[in-house]
């Protein structure tokens, strides 16, 4: 069933005058890279949380080994494994902080700077144009914009 439709994306997702196809494509690739970094960052936080959980579980294992009479093994695990750095000199929270401060934040700032300098700060222009190209205009569930509240 066809529905009334607007002619295209809202002004926040329309290419500014003078923005070339090459610029939009480059910013689209930069946005795609940032999305991959966001995904990687999620894995890094998962690594941080899982490693911390494992360390707490190891602490419980030490206590259970002690209760079972394996004191020497429990002492060795407690001294050599519990609380150990996962990378030389670092726990996972330090890895996360370094990643956030020295890579993630820098990339986010650069991506924003590029958008501000090249397309008035507008986000996802490549995707907005892809949506316009791929949707069936006038068809239900292919609208350019959500219905107004």
Look at residue 75 and tell me if it is in a domain: yes
**How many separate domains does the chain show?**
1
Look at residue 8 and tell me if it is in a domain: no
Per-residue tokens: 148: 């107004």
Q: pTM of the entire structure?
A: 0.83
Look at residue 142 and tell me if it is in a domain: no
Look at residue 106 and tell me if it is in a domain: yes
Look at residue 77 and tell me if it is in a domain: yes
pLDDT at 1: 37
Whole-angstrom Cα distance, residue 48 to residue 126? 34
**pLDDT tens figures, 50-69:** 999 999 999 999 999 999 99
Q: Using DSSP, state whether 8 is helix, strand or coil.
A: coil
Residues of the chain under the 50 pLDDT cut: 1-3
Look at residue 126 and tell me if it is in a domain: yes
Whole-angstrom Cα distance, residue 66 to residue 125? 61
pLDDT at 44: 98
| Segment 35-44 long-range contacts (CB within 8 Å, at least 24 positions apart) | 37/103, 37/104, 37/107, 41/99, 41/100, 41/104, 44/95, 44/96, 44/99
pLDDT at 53: 97
Tell me how far apart the terminal alpha carbons of the chain are, to the nearest angstrom: 22
Whole-angstrom Cα distance, residue 116 to residue 145? 24
Residue 106 belongs to domain spanning? 16-134
Give, in degrees to the nearest 5, the angle at Cα 101 between 96 and 105. Answer: 110
Look at residue 21 and tell me if it is in a domain: yes
pLDDT at 148: 78
């Amino acid at each position: 069933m066809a529905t009334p439709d607007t002619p295209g994306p809202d002004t926040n997702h329309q290419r500014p005058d003078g923005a070339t196809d090459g610029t939009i494509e480059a910013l689209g690739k930069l946005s795609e890279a940032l999305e991959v970094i966001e995904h990687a960052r999620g894995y890094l936080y998962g690594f941080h949380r899982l490693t911390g959980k494992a360390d707490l579980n190891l602490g419980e294992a030490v206590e259970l080994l002690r209760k079972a009479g394996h004191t020497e093994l429990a002492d060795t695990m407690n001294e050599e494994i519990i609380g150990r750095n996962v990378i030389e000199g670092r726990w996972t929270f330090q890895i996360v902080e370094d990643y956030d401060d020295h890579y993630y934040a820098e990339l986010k700032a650069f991506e924003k700077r590029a958008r501000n300098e090249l397309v008035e700060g507008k986000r996802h222009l490549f995707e907005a144009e892809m949506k316009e190209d791929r949707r069936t205009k006038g068809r239900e569930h292919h609208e350019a914009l959500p219905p107004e509240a």
